[in-house]
A = this chain, B = another copy of it.
Amino acid sequence: MEYKLLKKQADTIRFLSADMVQKANSGHPGAPMGLADIVTVLSYHLKHNPVNPKWLNRDRLVFSGGHASALVYSFLHLSGYDIGIEDLKNFRQLGSKTPGHPEYGEVAGVEVTTGPLGQGVANAVGFAAAAKYASNILNTDGVKVIDHKVYCLCGDGDLEEGISYEACSFAGHLGLDNLVLIYDSNNITIEGSASLAFSEDIKSRFEAQGWEVSKIDGHNFDEINEVLSKAKEQTKPYLIIADTIIAKGACELEGSHNAHGAPLGSEVIKNAKIKAGFDENSFFFVPDDVKEEFVKAKIDGERAEKEWKQKPLTAEQKEILDKLLNPNFDSVKWPLFEAGSGVATRDSNGKIINEIAKALLGFLGGSADLAPSNKSELNGMGSFPKGRNIHFGIREHAMAAICNAISLYGLFLPYSATFFIFSDYLKPSARLAALMRLKTFFIWTHDSIGVGEDGPTHQPIEQLTQFRAQPNFYVWRPADANENVEAWKKALRLNAPSAFVLSRQKLTVLDGKKDFGSAAQGGYLLKKAQNPKITLISSGSEVELCVKAACRLKDEGIDANVVSVPCFDLFTEQSKEYIQTVIDKNTKVLAVEASSGDVWWRYADDIICMKSFGSSAPSEKLFEKFGFSVENVVKRAKELLASAHGV
């Protein structure tokens, strides 16, 4: 490596980044400048193909500190990805390829959307876990289909977030030797020195979690190169602690927290360029020799992929790879549940996912230590990373972020499982799954006050509303085991995450006749009365209650329609005509749901829902106490009809 050229390469990244932030008058110049030296050297180690950013055996590179997006875009541009200098000039503008934080899908080469701190570290662990499993099922002694590395750059913020500890503990436990985490230790946070709040011995911390650790000067090219070479020989996940100076090269702002999240100012940039031997009047400038050097990645990448494609795969390897790349959803042998029997939807779900796993080789997942309760085990399919059952440990947040990356990896359909109440613990990662429209599945059992004795700390109230409010996210709360099947059939085909909110208690399997519509449309008319005065609309365990209440109302001479809405999100996406056929506008509408219920106001005239937290008692007592009884539904229906007359 030629020191002078390396310096020039790094400075080019620095000034591209600084110019981007300056022109946008918004962004974060400090981290890009501090990391420029590392990224420059890393570019010589990275195996990727800018011409085909989706090459399966590429190294994955994750920028966990997504605020360093100017660095990401500069690097991708220089490496020959589909991002031009005009895109850099358009940084953070409406419709640009270069949004404020790197967004998956917006620009090729961005492996995952980052920004919320700690997520990228857990995603990197997920990529490494996916690669480890892929190598276990795809590689033979002779032919390594998968043998790439996962690199992740992170900062103090990432390592202070709980999710990073969870994920790194998981990585250490599995001994993910394909993972290289580079810690940009610049000792600067927004409030000032990181030592204001953070005084861990990071080396000991990671060693305690089963990692190998090296410390380097993050501005010394030789040291960087040495550890990146060493990284290839590891038998454990590898942390590189790189001491860096934030905004390195920015003269008077070097080492200052003022360089974190605001433009440096044209004067500072000018002086920095002069000092580095760059023309202070040139902006977005890439010297020719720098351009030539970085763009070698294209040539090297194309060659690497070509060589990889020429590997002599066995017929079995080819078959496995084909099955992973092209899952055949039609091959699932869906179970059918007998009408009238009592089946908790957590149980039906357990049967369903086992059938899916039998049919789809890439379907895998696990629970945050609740598999026996979540019914989320894939029977006889072994433990990850040799088998498909992932023991995530009691780490919901990392679990979800790891699954995001497993989904992004390109071969797998991952699921994660926990109690619905603990979806709270993983909300930030569920949001990113939605933002990226990832095909990842959340199994959330113990869906309501039906939890019973464990009490209000374990009884979801607001969670249904909260996830329904999240865009690109489909929350399924099936009324019975067969709706549970329909939910999965649809969910497998949606280009977005789905969550399955499932009962602990048994639910009667409905007779399966639908008077109009289908579960695949989110909601349907389950029972149509001859001369309906009222519509009872609900989801999950309350559908059965509404069916019973409708019978009782009928006995009293009041005809009631019953609508089941297993997926509120999908239902709202249907045409107005469809919705109007399901919900007869000539009826009054009473929604019944053992949740906070707010969303139902969209369709309902009145709502029976949870207006408080739950309580600790056997579940039958709780349903009674909180108004989820046939008597109360009938009473409230009659009151609603009476008030209607009054208006």
Residues of B near A452 (CB, < 8 A) are: 26
**When the two chains form the complex, which single residue of B369, B457, B598 contacts A190, counting CB atoms closer than 8 Å?**
B369
CB pair B596 A471 closer than 8 Å: yes
A454 within 8 A of B: yes
Chain B residues positioned under 8 Å from A467 (CB to CB) = 462
Known: A205-B208, A424-B427, A453-B26. A166 touches B173 (CB 8 A): no
Q: Which of A433-463 contact B (CB under 8 A)?
A: 434-435, 452-458, 461-462
Q: Identify which of A92-100, A123-131, A141-149, A309-317 touches chain B.
A: A92-100
Question: What separation, in Å, do the CA atoms of A472 and B458 have in the docked complex?
Answer: 16
Q: Which residues of B contact A395 (CB under 8 A)?
A: 160-162, 197
From the candidates B93, B191, B598, B621, name the one contacting A598 in the complex (CB within 8 A).
B598
5 new A-B contacts, CB < 8 A, other than A161-B394, A191-B372, A196-B383, are A24-B453, A103-B455, A160-B395, A165-B165, A189-B393
A89 to B629, CA, bound (A): 27
Q: Are A468 and B205 in contact (CB under 8 A)?
A: no
Chain B contacts for A458, CB-based, 8 A: 100-101, 115
A190-B370 in contact given A394-B117, A457-B115 (Cβ < 8 Å)? yes
Per a CB cutoff under 8 Å, which of B99, B456, B472 touches A616?
B99
Number of interface residues of A (CB under 8 A): 107
Residues in B with CB closer than 8 Å to A66 are: 457
Pick from B96, B101, B163, B471: contact of A457, CB below 8 A: B101
Closest to A468 in B: B598
Point out the residue from B165, B197, B394, B610 that lies within 8 Å of A369, measured CB to CB.
B197
Instruction: Confirm or deny: A428 has a beta carbon within 8 angstroms of a beta carbon on chain B.
Output: yes
6 residue pairs of the A-B complex, CB under 8 angstroms, read: A92-B453, A103-B455, A160-B394, A162-B398, A431-B462, A434-B613
A610 to B472, CA, bound (A): 12
Per assembly, the copies of the chain total: 2
Complex contact B616–A469 (CB within 8 A):
no
Query: How far is it, in angstroms, between the C-alpha of A157 and the C-alpha of B395 when the chains are bound?
Result: 8
- Cross-chain contact B210 with A208 (CB below 8 angstroms): no
Question: Once bound together, how far apart are the Cα atoms of A325 and B7, in whole Å?
Answer: 61
> Taking the complex as formed, is A116 at the interface, i.e. its CB lies under 8 A from any CB of chain B?
yes
State whether B101 touches A616 (Cβ < 8 A). yes
A602 contact set on B, CB distance < 8 A: 598, 601
Is residue A169 within 8 Å, beta carbon to beta carbon, of the partner chain?
yes
A424 touches B428 (CB 8 A): yes
Give the distance in Å from the alpha carbon of A135 to the alpha carbon of B114 in the complex.
Answer: 42
Is A556 part of the binding interface, using a Cβ–Cβ cutoff of 8 Å? no
Contact residues of A between 191 and 215, Cβ < 8 Å to B: 191, 196-205, 207-210
A80–B370 alpha-carbon span in the complex (Å): 36
Bound-state CA distance A193–B26 (Å) is 50
A172 / chain B contacts, CB cutoff of 8 Å: 199-200
Contact of A204 among B101, B202, B208, B396 (CB under 8 A): B208
